[in-house]
Amino acid sequence: MTTDGVNLRELVLDILLSVTKGEAYSHIALAAVLDKYQYLTKQERGFITRLTEGVLERMIELDYMIDQFSNLKTSKMKPVVRCILRMGVYQLKYMDTVPDSAACNEAVKLAAKKGLNGLKGFVNGVLRNIGRNLDKICYPDEGDQPIHALSVQYSMPEWILSQWIKDYGIQKAKSVAASFMCESRTAIRINPMKCSTEQLNDALNRQGIAAERIYLEGYPDFDYAMYISGYDYLASIPEFNAGWFMVQDVSSMLAAHTAAPRPGSYVIDVCAAPGAKSLHAAELMRGQGIVEARDLTEYKVSLIEENIARCGFSNIRAIRHDARILDEAAVAKADVVLADLPCSGLGVLKKKPEIRYRMTEAAQRGLAALQQEILSVSCRYVKPGGVLLYSTCTINRMENEENTRRFLEGHERFSLVGERQFFPDEGEMDGFYIAKFVLG
């Protein structure tokens, strides 16, 4: 599929290579391509998005399928060939609008374009063989090899499934893994300093963008969020550029909502980039008081500053600071400390599917230790009667409930007001954990 000299599949291949070979994140790499080629039609942009995200979501299954029809296993292939075959197989199995012949022929052309003329026959043979035998592919039996079978079915590494089964049971692990294969709408938080819900809803509807109010059971005062769908890309929506709303998952919105800073508060967000929770806190404070949105690098601080400028708040400032280092000037000064800390990210696999292939158990243990370290520093900023809000965007007890227990054991003056693990199979939200502490 080529438009004005641009090969859509080649764009997808380049994204996949940058993600699987390097350290690029798929949502950033994909957004960069869509931004560069804004002249593409909505259908063409949708094709790029669907194929990119689909291959990354299904990579374990795709490799399993290829390995049944190739004498050379995927683990031994050149990265370019492996990605071309994954793209071809995904189209054969999951994209009904793409003819099998097109999936195979375009893969062969792509191989040639990448200088792999000697492998055109190999690519063609593997894909056509798979296309003829899609209904005959043998999958692992869940009764004999439950974890391996679930790993292939949901393209989830076995160690993650084993952890979820240990923490939550096999049925919950299956349900969570399956939920990451489902499409979800974009959640947005309305900026009440710029518009009302009705104004934003009307403006979006005039552009053909569907908007639906979000109501959460148990949160009667949660009245500032909507799901939107049917738009091309965010930067094409004037109200987004004008700061009328911010894209943020519902579970993430509940962090500042649960912390509940009041007008006039002093809030410190210790790991703030890109600033959604900090800006939410500033909104809840109705422009009064101050929010310090801190993060480690100039780049992350610049992301916060961009969102502050777009949303137009004056009661928030972005500061570069290492959350592991105590800021003596802030000790016992904050009414609220937001600690949404670096984590394994296993709750946001819909948005960043590649995390599942990069994360390791060793890295996860290191992150849990880092969370404890930052919490032990951040809690010192809370003044008596103040709130410490700990959150992660992951799903496992080690980084969540167990870290909460460890914190309480070492900080007896804090009491736990409440904690909750949000699961992605319980509505349209990310996997997320929130624990609220109050200093006595």
Secondary structure (DSSP) of 226-273: EEEES-S-GGG-HHHHTTSEEE--HHHHHHHHHH-PPTT-EEEETT-T
Backbone phi, psi, residue 14, to 5°? -65, -40
Helix (H, G, I), strand (E, B) or coil at 408: helix
Radius of gyration of the chain (CA): 23
Distance separating alpha carbons of residues 270 and 28, to the nearest angstrom: 23
Q: Which of 83, 311, 343, 393 is catalytic?
A: 393
Distance separating alpha carbons of residues 329 and 177, to the nearest angstrom: 45
Pick from 369, 377, 376, 374: nearest CA to 407:
376
393 catalytic per annotation: yes
Q: How far is CA 283 from the centre of its chain?
A: 23
Distance separating alpha carbons of residues 321 and 323, to the nearest angstrom: 6
8 Å CB contact between 439 and 388: yes
152 burial type by CB count under 10 A (0-12 exposed, 13-18 middle, 19+ buried): buried
Q: Which residues are catalytic?
A: 393
